[in-house]
Chain A
Amino acid sequence: MNAKKTMTLNLTDQEMRVLEELAQKKELTKTGVMKLALRLLQTLDARIEPGKKLFIEDEIGKEKSELVIL
């Protein structure tokens, strides 16, 4: 088991509201949401290189829209 470290996260009211909404929607704890966000961002950051783009495709209409990641 990996040793765990604790950190304090200071959020604005709006950020906390979004976090709570996501936790409810995803059926996760707030910590679970933050961990999921970290895993997702790391994967996207590793996969998106210069010359590659991330798209969201409408299954029915087949329209594609680019998702711009920082």
Chain B
Amino acid sequence: MTESKIYLRDGRTKALVEASLFDEATSDHLALWDRDWVPAMQAFCAGKSLSEKPEDSHWDWRRKSRAATGLLGYHTLAIVCADDLQGLMMANDISSARLPQQFGKPLIYVDFLATAPWNRPQIQDPPRYRGVGQVFLLAAIELSMSVGFKGRVGLHSLPDAEAFYENKCGFTRLGSDSSHQGLIYFEITDKQADAFRQRN
């Protein structure tokens, strides 16, 4: 497991704060998810209708992590700041691109990406930290480059995150995918990935 230094932005002071990106979500990270993340999400969701709950409120990261354990093609990443878990991501490097200009070429596919409940403005305003999503996408691009995929990344977005991927990260929208509950599929080329890296 490798730990890299990254920076998040304090949601209140806007100052950059040093944090750690781990290229493997360990049992310690999942224990933090159990201890803090789950109760915070449950507290926010209590009494709310399905449409009012965060779209990922039902994600069971322990189960997801278990399903990927031992598989060479799957990667689970974690971000920790101030001894608290700030985000989790699962990605695989056995998927193919769909954009016509890179169709069939391998890419990093982001299976799941989530920031901790206290980093979401709709749950806590101001959020504790900003930038978890960008750091994870940069990590996905770096992973893509390290395995020879030149920065190519693809993902299906939950509806609330579509604008983030399209406008903030520069992904290309490829439309609704009936094989993924109608979620919109997004993809980034090597050039788009390079532009995103330079902006961040």
Asked if A8 is at the interface of the complex by the 8 Å CB criterion, the answer is no
* Contact flags A30-62 to B (C-beta < 8 A → 1, else 0): 001001101110110010000000000100000
Task: Tell me whether A36 and B179 are in contact in the complex, defined as CB-CB below 8 angstroms, given that A29-B148, A43-B94 are known contacts.
Answer: no
Count of chain A residues with a beta carbon within 8 Å of a chain B beta carbon? 16
What does DSSP make chain B's interface, helix, strand, loop or mixed?
Answer: loop
B84 CB to nearest chain A CB (Å): 28
- Residues from chain B with a CB closer than 8 A to the CB of A36 are 93-94, 106
- Residues from chain A with a CB closer than 8 A to the CB of B150 are 27
- Residues from chain B with a CB closer than 8 A to the CB of A25 are 104-105
Identify which of B72, B148, B179 contacts A42 (C-beta below 8 A).
B72
Interface residue ranges, B against A (CB under 8 Å):
2, 70-74, 92-94, 104-106, 147-148, 150, 179
A-B CB contact pairs (8 Å), 17 listed: A1-B2, A26-B106, A27-B105, A28-B106, A28-B148, A29-B148, A32-B147, A35-B147, A36-B94, A36-B106, A39-B94, A40-B73, A42-B72, A43-B72, A43-B74, A43-B92, A57-B179
